[in-house]
Structure 1
Amino acid sequence: MFPSYLEQAHDLCFLNHDILVELLRSGEKNKIFHQQINFLSEEDKKLLEQSNDIFEWFELTGRKLEYVETLRRTVFQALLSDFLHFIYESLSCSRKEKLTVAYALLRKPIQENLLLLEIMAIDINDFSNKLTENPLALRAKNYGGIEGHTKRIQSVLKVLGEEERFNADYLAQLRYQKSEDGFDGICNKSMHLFTEHKKIKTENMNINQIFSGSESKQTQWHFLYSRLPYLIFYARRLIEHICGTFSKTDPSYLNNIEYRVMAATILWYPNVEDRYKNDNLDKFVDSTVNKLEKTFLDAGKNKPSKKDILRVKDSGVI
């Protein structure tokens, strides 16, 4: 049975997920992922009618900027949808005690989907060129190992203005490093019955994950729900940033959802067991507390009590 003490963490993950689902739904409804094309001449129009591929037409007519922008919007929509499907199924499997499946499903969205979204956020021309000429260059293994991933994430955090709240080294470690405090090892073990990398090598007389008992499941749940809220919060901020370059969202709406997530994050962390806490998570939560407290003070109110934080989580109103 799913532990009741993890309900809050599970709900926090789904809160971030559901906000992104609404972003995608609203974007599709309002056609913000569509790119308007203006014909410069009748010849332009005829060339498009004769072409089998709009991207071929962009090249024929020298429309580099429109090529890149159309590609960016089209790929972003598809990547986001794919990311959300995997996160949803992973969380749902965790809720049903299918932890091996939950971890197996988590690997692609946090390693690959987020990678492409990060590249789109910091260098869309590099992304466009690689996708057009050599898509395999966009594989995670081609980005310089942990150091390369860290450097990219640092650039993203600078763009997001989130250098204080998040740590690029830790985000890279969680997603790509085969360590005890990282998803890559357990995700790989969940995907493969046997693994040979020295840090996750299958033990003698064992087959990865299939003998997990109650104690192992508890450990897997604790790790998942002490780390995923941090990762998915970062993913939401990244995705909201990219989407904001397509169409401006009402600032009051963005503030409302940000306040809700911050409050839910503050309420989540005290329930994380001490052995699963660390300086990076402490910094993330402390910074979030400071941001929410500053919002209250700027509004002419006292620092929020627990009752206030509970109210904000449900309403998004300061």
Structure 2
Amino acid sequence: MINKYLALILATFRESFSRNNKKLLSSKNYFYLPNRFRKQHDYCEFVINQIEELVLHERFIELKVQKFELSEDIIEKMKTSDEHIFDRLTYLGLNNELNLVVNNHLILSLIMETCYFIQESLLCSLKMRMTVCFTLLRKPFLEISTIMMRLLNEPDFIDKFNNLEDFDPIKITYQEKKRLLAETNKLLNNHFDNDDLYDFIFNKDFGDSLLNLTNNAVHLYTDRNPISATEKQNLNFIFSTEEDINHMWEYIYDNIPMLLSFLASSIDLLVSKSIDVDEAVSRERLQQRQIMSKRYGIE
């Protein structure tokens, strides 16, 4: 059974997506976006809507509802306690059940958060709100993707998440991030270039990494990294010219389609490992992305 809080969150999620999708469908004038970027933008919309299906489609219901066979006495103990479900499962020693519930609830919540941030980022791109557009890309690609990859590649991640005090699921070294990208890409049949993934997401020594660009979007002034330091008589993103904005669009639509495809493939794989999903469904979702990438000229 879905608890009341989760049901409320899901209802809000559905309402939000319905409203946002209506906005996008009714905004095919693309606001300020130049013609040359529109196909890439449409592909990004397709991919994020496909990720949305993991939350809204009934075939992925196990992300929201988990079923267990429990003895009558355990069921009675569960009913008579006012504790949070996680605390009840822990107290009763149902560690496997706890890990499954936490794992699936964590994945569901991260997928929802990914959809919220990226869909709003795409809308901001259309409206030429570039500071907000880049700021919203930070959480899904730098933080959520890290947790997703750790869930995929570290069998003890949920145990650590459940039991270790002060466990930071995002705080890992750059070398560990590079390793996670390579291991995840290997699970995806090395469909992507490892160096490109690392450079465009995490590489602090690469000026065009999302790490550096989103840091500049969040902060008016940056000086820790010489590569992305704010120049004199300037504030980050504040004095952008038309030429600067065009460069930002070029960056987004040259790179985000690839990064979003990687994220979608990683999430699909994680979901298929966590719940019972027909292999044909996962294969169909990948084929749809491949068809759409060819249609929209995405390399």
**TM-score normalised by length of structure 2:** 0.81
Runs of 4+ in 1 over 6 A off after TM superposition: none
Q: RMSD between aligned alpha carbons?
A: 2.1
Structure 1, residues 241-260: CA drift from partner, whole Å, max 9, x if none? 12223121361x54444333
Out of 217, 235, 239, which is 2:263 matched to? 235
2:238 matched to which residue of 1? 210
SS at match of 1:138: coil
Structure 2 gaps of 5+ residues are 1-31
Is 1:161 aligned to residue 188 of structure 2?
yes
Q: Highest CA radius of gyration, 1 or 2?
A: 1
How much has 1:27 moved relative to structure 2? 4.5
* Match of residue 187 from structure 1: 214
Q: Counterpart in 2 of 1:151?
A: 179
Does 2:47 correspond to 1:19? no
Amino acid in structure 1 at the alignment position of 2:228: I
CA separation of 1:181/1:29 partners in 2, compared to 1, >3 Å: closer, same or farther? Answer: closer
Asked if the contact 1:151/1:168 (under 8 Å) is kept, the reply is: no
Do the aligned partners of residues 174 and 127 (structure 1) sit closer, same or farther apart at CA in structure 2, a change above 3 Å counting? farther
Q: Is the 2:59–2:277 contact (alpha carbons within 8 Å) kept by the matching residues of 1? A: no
Cross-structure match for 1:172: 198
Using the TM superposition, give the Cα deviation of residue 216 of structure 1 relative to its aligned residue in structure 2, in angstroms.
Answer: 0.3
1:225 corresponds in structure 2 to: 253
Show the counterpart of 1:117.
148
Contact kept in structure 1, 2:62 and 2:276, CA below 8 Å: no
Report the equivalent of 1:244: 272
1:61, CA displacement in angstroms? Answer: 2.3
Is residue 268–residue 282 contact of structure 2 (8 Å, CA) maintained in 1?
no
Percentage identity across paired residues of the two chains = 20
Change (3 A) 1:77 1:151: same
Length-normalised TM-score, structure 1: 0.77
Relative CO higher for 1 or 2, CA cutoff 8 Å, sep ≥ 6?
Answer: 2
> Does the aligned pair in 1 maintain the 2:221–2:235 contact within 8 Å?
yes
Aligned pair in 2 of structure 1 residues 32, 149: CA closer, same or farther (>3 Å)?
Answer: closer
- Cα distance in 2, alignment partners of residues 255 and 151 from structure 1: 26
Alpha-carbon contact 2:160-2:167 (below 8 Å) kept: no
- Conserved 8 A contact 2:272-2:282: no
Question: Conserved in 1, the CA contact under 8 Å of 2:197 and 2:259?
Answer: yes
Gap change, CA 1:128 and 1:28, over 3 Å in 2:
farther
- Answer yes or no: is the 8 Å Cα contact 2:265–2:286 preserved in 1: no
Alignment of 1:1-318 (within 5 A): 1-27=32-58, 30-43=61-74, 45-46=76-77, 49-134=80-165, 136-139=167-170, 142-145=171-174, 147-158=175-186, 160-163=187-190, 165-178=191-204, 179-197=206-224, 198-245=226-273, 246-249=275-278, 251=280, 253-269=281-297, 285=299
CA distance in 2, matches of 1:269, 1:47: 54
